[in-house]
Amino acid sequence: MIRRAEQKDIERCVELGHHFYKQTAYGQVPYCYESASITMNLSLDQGLFAVLEVDGIVEGFILGLMSPMIFNRNVNVGAELAWWVQPEYRKGRYGIDLLKFMEQLAQDEGVNIWSMMSLEAVEPEKIETIYKRMGYTKSENTFMRIF
């Protein structure tokens, strides 16, 4: 089942978020469970947090945040912060259905432009293909440097 996240899901999603985090390039920065919880609560408050539940257990999530566009405050932009589905549930449609559900949540919450990212460590070419099939346009590449 894919549904809106609820407060009761935060603890499990913070755990799953650690799995997501291990796939990022932020490895030099320690994962902070409290920080993840605070951000997930912000996403929950904005209505931009969805979970994948299988047999009563949350096995994936997607969350984002929304703000006015820097160049036009009448346009709301939303960005995915993390999209994670446990590896054993990545075959089939779970991940795509979760993304489609999130897109609907974003539209319902007044988001005009939604952006998605991909991790270099998790099949970026496959994810790019999925995004393009769903109507996304590649807009930019992100580079990071940890000081």
At 118 the pLDDT is 87
Q: What is the mean pLDDT of residues 27-31?
A: 89
Reported as a single tens digit per residue, the pLDDT across 53-85 is 999 999 999 999 999 999 999 999 999 999 999
Cα separation, 112 vs 66, in Å, equals 10
Q: How confident is the model at residue 129 (pLDDT cuts 50, 70, 90)?
A: very high
Confidence at residue 53, expressed as pLDDT on a 0 to 100 scale: 97
Q: 64 and 107 in contact (C-beta within 8 Å)?
A: no
Question: What is the predicted pLDDT for the residue at 142?
Answer: 85
Q: In the prediction, which pLDDT does 98 show?
A: 97
Of residues 140 and 34, more confidence is placed in 34
Mean pLDDT to the nearest integer, 35-41: 98
Q: Is 60 in contact with 82 (CB distance < 8 Å)?
A: no
CATH class of 2-133: alpha beta
Instruction: Give CA separation, 53 vs 3, 74, 128, 136, in Å.
Output: 8, 35, 25, 26
What pTM was computed for the model? 0.91
Buried/exposed code over 6-18 (b: 16+ C-beta within 10 A; e: otherwise) = eeebbebbbebbe
Q: State the average pLDDT over residues 102-109.
A: 98
CA–CA gap between residue 23 and residue 46 (Å, rounded) = 26
Residue 144 confidence (pLDDT): 82
